[in-house]
Structure 1
Amino acid sequence: MNFTSLLLGSAAILIAVSDARAVDAEPDAGEYVKICDVYGAGFFYIPGTETCLRIGGYVRYDIALGDVGSLDGAKATDHEGGSTNATWKKNARFTVKTWTNRETEFGTLKTYTETRMNFGNRNDYSDPGSPQNYASDRDLGLTFAWVQLGDLRIGKDWSAFDMFIGYPGNVLNQMLVPYGDFETNVIQYYFDAGDGFSAVVSLEEGEGVIGTIDSYVPHVVGGLKYTQQWGAITGVAAYDSNYGSVAGKVRVDVNVANELSLFGMFGYGSNGKLKDDSTNAIDAHGRGFYKTWGGKWAFWTGATYKFNETTSFNLQVSGDQLKNYGVAMNVAYTLIPDFTVTVEVDYDHCGYFGVGMVSPSKVNWTNADKNNSVGGIVRFQRSF
């Protein structure tokens, strides 16, 4: 064997070995990603672990118009004449969500995260005398980030005062009469007693300059629910440790038929320990972290009627002691699976706004005249 033959033979062996390794390095699709159907559709095993992961989210585009107060009515300064003009309010949002689940000796270990990114225009009420409405990137934020082991949950969530009792209807503008605050860190414990009974206890930090606790004493929320085939009865109560104020809500859901469901929710709360100077009453809302409605009491009621599998009609009627009222109604149509178009019309009646009570339709916020506003919104949403 000469030297040339030896080199050629060695090269052939190296190429063969390299090809074999390349083939071995290619993952087998059936083994690399395994479906995890224990926790529902969309979960798969993270390779090399027993943890199941799901990635989802949605892309949303809103187009709204209307008077200030109903839909955060958009205004902008005219570039030619300098006058203030009404204009469209638009917003594009991308939301990404993740879920992980894994069974342990202490129960199911879960995590959930949700991050939202927005681009659009809105008024800046921090300077009511100079409303601007420039479209730009807005509100990149962490909406949820919690860990749950068994029935114990810790992390960033929305308050149990709102999540445990549920949203007030399937309308887009649920806050024509506000029903609670949301953003908070929590330590929560859920309890399922069986036979339809469940409960929650939540220690919460609150949010913002006013809502965040100002000592080692947390806000406290407790809830109890009874669920049956006909519907549910739910109650929640909250204690605001900053001001010693309390608030509660009771809700009844009734499944009248497969097509029709009804709900009614009533809230009641106190203003807590007011400061001597009435202009500094509790906070910018004048109502504390949980009782965000006007006066002591408020109500929300509504219905959902499903015409068929793709089309539904949703209604919410709300009001509070200070004669603030709202009506929201929409038709939601699922054009194709996971792509829904919703068209909504809203009416907002602003009653008496005392000192510190936020009304975006008013500049001075004090003894505001009664005001009626209407608006509409079209939402396109693709979920995945």
Structure 2
Amino acid sequence: MNIKSLLLGSAAALIAVSGARAADAVTVAEPEPAEYVKICDVYGAGYFYIPGTETCLRIGGYVRYDIAGGDIGSFDGAKNVDHQDGSIQDTWKKNARFSLRTWTGQETELGTLKTYTETRFNFGNRNATASVVRGVVTDNPAVNKGVTLNFAWIQLGGLRVGKDESAFDTFIGYAGNVINDTLVPYGDFDTNVVQYYFDAGNGFSAVASLEEGSGTVGTIDSYVPHVVGGVKYT
């Protein structure tokens, strides 16, 4: 073997080693495409599919600010105790509200399954009368009034169960088109329901509702529910 043959053999060995390393190179997998939220237009505007499900979700709400004075609600208006001399005097009734709402919809073998919730957060004073009795002051401060669950129902077809407002109010359209529907109380609202609503599609509709009621007086005290029924043609 001469020097020339040795050099050629070394060059061939280097090429072979380089080729082997190239063959062993790691191939990086391409990332999977991101799954973006898909729009759902089956139940109206604003819905989107919850990723990984066939359920459509809509999230909404509102912010409201009320200012009232004079003879409102209870006819004598909001009052408070004067911080200087302790006298009772009229004041503004104010309330700030944030309402969070959710809607869902999904098609099942038994029909359309829907849910609706509304939770309200309120801050302000009350439409109440302050008083001073034997030196004890009952004032009317602006405070966080707590969180209220106004709606939380599940509906399959015409059958609805959960937290709703009484069919005594909802079926007749509440108090109608009036500016202030609190001047004359016309019924309780909050209640759990087991309710069926029928709409013939030609203006005729009917409702049957089994209700729990609310409050000390309104809540049922046995297995017998409040029963509300109605029919109408519009």
Give the TM-score, by structure 1 length.
Answer: 0.50
Q: CA deviation at 1:121?
A: 0.6
1:162-188 deviation per Cα after TM superposition (whole angstroms, max 9, x unaligned): 001102234452021111110000000
Q: 1:183: which partner in 2? A: 190
Q: Is the 8 A contact 2:154 2:161 kept in 1?
A: yes
State the Cα distance separating 1:128 from its structure 2 match: 8.7
1:120 corresponds in structure 2 to 124
Q: Which residue is 2:40 aligned to? A: 36
In 2, Cα distance between equivalents of 1:128 and 1:159: 37
From 60, 72, 75, the counterpart of 1:56: 60
Shift of 1:205: 0.4
SS at match of 2:181: coil
Quick one: structure 1 residues 219 and 127, their matched pair in 2 at CA, closer, same or farther if it must change by over 3 Å?
A: farther
CA separation in 1, counterparts of 2:90 and 2:130?
Answer: 18
Q: Secondary structure, in 3 states, of the residue corresponding to 1:99?
A: strand
> Are residue 206 (structure 1) and residue 213 (structure 2) matched?
yes
After the TM superposition, which residues 88-99 of structure 1 pair with which residues of structure 2 at under 5 Å, given as runs? 88-99=92-103
How far 1:131 sits from its partner (Å)? 4.4
Cα shift readout 1:48-80 (whole Å, capped 9, x = no counterpart): 111111111100001111136556622111111
1:219 matches 2:226 = yes
- Give the equivalent residue in structure 2 for 1:259: none
Deviation at residue 206 of structure 1 after TM alignment: 0.5
Q: Relative to structure 1, is the Cα distance of residues 126 and 142 closer, same or farther in structure 2, using a 3 angstrom cutoff?
A: farther
Sort the Cα spacing of 1:131 and 1:169 in 2 relative to 1 into closer, same or farther, 3 A. Answer: farther
1:74 counterpart residue number: 78
| Mapping 1:143-158, distance limit 5 Å | 143-158=150-165
Question: Which residue pairs with 2:7 in the alignment?
Answer: none
Counting aligned pairs with the same residue, the percent is 70
SS of the residue corresponding to residue 33 of structure 1 reads coil
Q: Which amino acid aligns with 1:214?
A: D
Counterpart amino acid of residue 164 in structure 2:
D
**Residue correspondence of structure 1 range 332-371 to structure 2 within 5 A:** none
Q: 2:199 aligns with which of 178, 192, 209?
A: 192
> Quick one: distance in 2 between partners of 1:198 and 1:50?
31
In the superposition, relative to structure 1, how do residues 217 and 125 fare at CA in structure 2: closer, same or farther (>3 Å)?
A: farther
- CA apart distance, 1:17: 4.0
Can you give the 5+ residue segments of structure 2 that lack an aligned partner in the other structure?
A: 1-13, 15-21
Q: Rg bigger for which structure?
A: 2
Amino acid at match of 1:106: L
1:278-289 alignment runs, 5 A limit = none
Distance 1:164 1:68, change over 3 A: closer
Give the 3 Å change call, closer, same or farther, for CA 75–113 of structure 1 in structure 2: same
Structure 1 gap segments, 5+ residues each: 2-8, 228-384
**Counterparts of 2:76 and 2:203 in 1: how far apart (Å)?**
40
What root-mean-square deviation, in Å, do the aligned CA atoms of Structure 1 and Structure 2 show?
2.6
What is the SS of the residue equivalent to 1:66? coil
Change over 3 Å in CA distance of 1:71–1:110 after alignment to 2:
farther
Contact kept, 8 Å, 1:56 with 1:96, in 2: the verdict is yes
Q: Look up the match of 2:172.
A: 165
Q: Following the alignment from structure 1 to structure 2, what is the Cα–Cα distance between the partners of residues 224 and 70?
A: 32
For CA contacts below 8 A with separation 6 or more, give which structure has more relative contact order.
1
Q: Distance in 2 between matches of 1:40 and 1:210?
A: 40
More strand, by proportion:
1
